[in-house]
Amino acid sequence: MSPTTLFILGASGDLTSRLLLPSLAALLSKHPKRRVILRGAGSEKWDEQTWRKAVSDAFADAPDALDLVTIGDYVSADVTDAGAVASLVDGLDRSTVLYFALPPAVTAAAIDAMAGLTLPEGTVLAMEKPFGEDEASAKQLNQKLLALVPEQQIFRVDHFLGRSTLLNLLGVRLANRIWEPVWSAEHIDHVLIRFDESVALEGRARYYDRAGAMIDMIQSHLLQVLALLAMDPPATLDERDLRDAKAAVLRATHVFGDDVAASTRRAQYTAGRVGERDLPAYRDEEGVDAARQTETLAEVVFEVASDRWAGVPFVLRSGKALPRKWSEIVVTFKPVRHLPPGLDGVPVDGGRLTFSLGPDEMSLRLHVTGGDDPFALREENLLADLGEGQQRSYEEVLEELLDGDVALSVRADEAEECWRIIQPVRDAWASDAVPLETYPAGSAGPGWHTD
């Protein structure tokens, strides 16, 4: 296998040391035939030795993989400076993956600095979240990227649903004939997509205090999950069919009832305890500007305005400093239309299909009889283990990048739609039309819209 060059801009950053390099090590140790040339750039004035040490430290869990990577140079440069960028581009190999592991504003400035340059054939640009800061800036960024390389060479990374988790979801949904006939407003009452984090700010105020839970999770990741769940079955899993199907859902998605006050909730954690850790209130965390009123928990109810889904609430919720890490998708079916008299314990719904993400599990909650009283209904869960899922997310992202497989990259139009969808919520929250609630760190947070 011929080597691919992975050139990381922002090589001294948190994403690189904590996720990209360890994931690269794990990927190479599983695929020893791969060869990667690793280059780095950043504003830190690192010498060759410091860069080599940073890489070998990050490969600590898979030291054998160090033999499969050629540690190339580290360029100390301001990547927003046109001259510096021009000489950096000048030295690129063909088919280099240029990974923008930079703060979003620096990424935007670096793309500006590249304007007019000719990148070597096959250069792949990998962009991190958040992509832009609203619909207009995402559009502009897309235009600038497309002036540099074609869409098939742009990765807007969504590490949340790794490829295996996505395939698990699609496999269960599309390879079993029982689901597709009931996968609509006719039979589904509502859908919950939740991502609870037990971690709090973890020193990331510079980024998070501007993003909040809405942009960090709902805009960047959970809307993609909604799109996968609600899309029409694609004819193939190639990038065009899959992304066309998702984009069609996103174009039809809006805040339920277009009523932000009734369909959204925002909250911020106060001091509390998560597990063994005492946490200060978010507003007292270092680097936080309390006047911003950044939400650490966001919940939005969306509707997909299509024949298949009209009227079905899709409740998306994510928060920090919650009791445990918990991510799941819950599809709740409507109550049965008629239950023969004599069966006790009328169920409130018609069953539930749950996907837990990372490790991936699927459970189907059914109403059954057969307990002590043969006429009494009770609930039973059928559980299936689908594998490790989310833990492998950046490993899978890197594998897709090195293979040039863009199917799971967020396409330009999808990225713009995700901003369009949340803009009314941002506007209403900015004008305080929805009060900022509070919840003690370690508590379950405010009630749900479905409560």
- 136 Cβ contact list (under 8 Å, min separation 6): none
Q: Using CB under 6 A, which of the segments 98-106, 112-120, 224-232, 406-414 binds ligand NDP?
A: 98-106
Does 316 help bind ligand NDP (rule: CB under 6 A)?
no
Centroid of chain to Cα 442: 23
Shortest Å, Cβ 107 to ligand NDP: 6
Q: Which is nearer to ligand NDP, 23 or 263 (CB)?
A: 23
Which long-range CB contacts under 8 A does 369-372 form with residues at least 24 apart?
369/343
Q: Which is nearer to ligand NDP, 33 or 45 (CB)?
A: 45
Q: Using CB under 6 A, which of the segments 96-104, 167-175, 287-295, 430-438 binds ligand NDP?
A: 96-104
Does 102 help bind ligand NDP (rule: CB under 6 A)?
yes
Does 137 help bind ligand NDP (rule: CB under 6 A)?
no
Shortest Å, Cβ 44 to ligand NDP: 4
Does 80 help bind ligand NDP (rule: CB under 6 A)?
yes
Cβ–Cβ < 8 Å for 363, 382 = yes
Shortest Å, Cβ 390 to ligand NDP: 13
Q: Using CB under 6 A, which of the segments 6-14, 113-121, 140-148, 344-352 binds ligand NDP?
A: 6-14
Q: Which is nearer to ligand NDP, 78 or 241 (CB)?
A: 78
- The token pair at 388 is 């490790």
Q: Identify the CA nearest to 221 among candidates 195, 249, 259, 190.
A: 195
Does 303 help bind ligand NDP (rule: CB under 6 A)?
no
Q: Identify the CA nearest to 124 among candidates 408, 413, 412, 400.
A: 400
Pairing of the two strands 36-42 and 4-9: parallel
Among 104, 132, 319, 358, the residue binding ligand NDP under the rule CB under 6 A is: 104
Alpha helices (H) in 175-255, listed in sequence order:
205-213, 223-230, 239-251
What is the Cα–Cα distance from 233 to 246, expressed in whole angstroms? 10
In the chain, % helix, strand, coil (3-state, to 5) comes to: 40, 25, 35
Does 129 help bind ligand NDP (rule: CB under 6 A)?
yes
Site string for ligand NDP, 181-210 (x = CB under 6 A): --------------------------x---
Centroid of chain to Cα 124: 20
Q: Using CB under 6 A, which of the segments 101-109, 292-300, 365-373, 430-438 binds ligand NDP?
A: 101-109
| Longest Cα separation, the chain | 80
Q: Using CB under 6 A, which of the segments 27-35, 72-80, 304-312, 413-421 binds ligand NDP?
A: 72-80
424 by DSSP, 3-state: which?
helix
What is the Cα–Cα distance from 179 to 388, expressed in whole angstroms? 23
Does 44 help bind ligand NDP (rule: CB under 6 A)?
yes
Residue 221 falls in the annotated catalytic set = yes
Does 114 help bind ligand NDP (rule: CB under 6 A)?
no
Q: Which is nearer to ligand NDP, 12 or 142 (CB)?
A: 12
Binders in 10-39 for ligand NDP, by CB under 6 A? 10, 12-15, 19
Cis bond upstream, residue 347 (ω within 30): no
Shortest Å, Cβ 173 to ligand NDP: 27
What is the Cα–Cα distance from 5 to 260, expressed in whole angstroms? 46
Among 31, 56, 92, 103, the residue binding ligand NDP under the rule CB under 6 A is: 103
Orientation of helix 239-251 relative to helix 223-230, angle to 10°: 110
Q: Which of 159, 190, 221, 449 is catalytic?
A: 221
Q: What region does 10 belong to: left with phi over 0, alpha with psi -120 to 50, or beta?
A: left
| Nearest residue to ligand NDP, scored by beta-carbon proximity | 13
Does 132 help bind ligand NDP (rule: CB under 6 A)?
no
Among 28, 101, 192, 297, the residue binding ligand NDP under the rule CB under 6 A is: 101
Q: Identify the CA nearest to 230 among candidates 342, 302, 309.
A: 309
Is 275 buried (19+), middle (13-18) or exposed (0-12) by CB count in 10 A? exposed
Q: Which residues does the annotation mark as catalytic?
A: 221
The site for ligand NDP (CB under 6 A) is made up of 10, 12-15, 19, 42-44, 78-80, 101-104, 106, 128-129, 207
